[in-house]
Amino acid sequence: MENGSGTVKAVSDAAQPARSAKPLAGRVIVIDPGHNGGNYKHPEIINKQVNVLTKWKACDTTGTATNDGYSEAAFNWDVSLRLAKLLRAKGATVKLTRADNTSAGPCITKRAAIGNAAKADAAISIHADGAGPSNHGFHVIMPKKINGPVDPVVAKSRKLGITIRDAVHKGTGQAYSTYIGKNALDYRSDLGGLNLSTVPKIFLESGNMRHAGDAAKLKDPAFRQKLAAALAQGFQTFLRSASRP
């Protein structure tokens, strides 16, 4: 502004309109695209047994596919890239557990370790299921206490899971699972990606690739974008309400 002498007078910072910060600025989110497109080529890698504390399991698996061959690994990768882009636009730092959809792994233990090393505010493993053809709908998997490293974040993981469940249902119209869990919520103690996590983390099973209706949605880029947008909104809701560590 100008004073009476015609010179420009600086406006103090306090008088400047407050700039709205990006809603996820300063937050770290880890996205784990389940499986990998090259897993089937490397059984010597993915069949190696690893300790997930409650049992020994294969390092990874190939995942499932629709009846006409659209792979779960490709679906997981596509949704993860879409979600990462949306979260970064909201100011978040985003780390993915794999860099492509052509190689093998990493093992489920390494996927958990990536989230832990990043000290993520929240983490998600994105999947689609391969159940009987009459089953449909999505569900969220959350950890149980196992007297292990996940125990301190079980409550926050449950809150994250419910928030993501609600966001996906509202944002995509996808039905709750008809065959697993209650109201699209399931709790497990046999998943290394959850058992070994020291940060709030969930798994999303986005639908059943063997059900004709679900498969049509999962193959549709417009649906995958809608799902990514719903997940981004779910993370924003969760992190807005969660206290910083």
User: Mind telling me the catalytic residues?
Assistant: 205
CB 35 within 8 A of CB 82: no
CB 75 within 8 A of CB 128: yes
In the numeric block, the tokens 């417009």 are attached to: 222
Q: What is the secondary structure of 22-77 as a DSSP string?
A: PTTTT-EEEEEE-S-TTGGG-HHHHTSEEE-SSSEEES-----B-TT--BHHHHHH
**The tokens of 111 are what?**
């996927």
**The tokens of 36 are what?**
């990998």
CA angle 105, 37, 109 (to 5 degrees): 20
**The tokens of 186 are what?**
């399931």
What span, in angstroms and rounded, lies between the C-alpha atoms of 238 and 81?
A: 20
Q: Is the dihedral of CA 224, 189, 200, 177 positive or negative?
A: positive
Let me know if 86 is exposed, middle or buried by CB neighbors in 10 A (0-12, 13-18, 19+).
buried
Instruction: Give the strand pairing for 93-96 and 201-208.
Output: unpaired
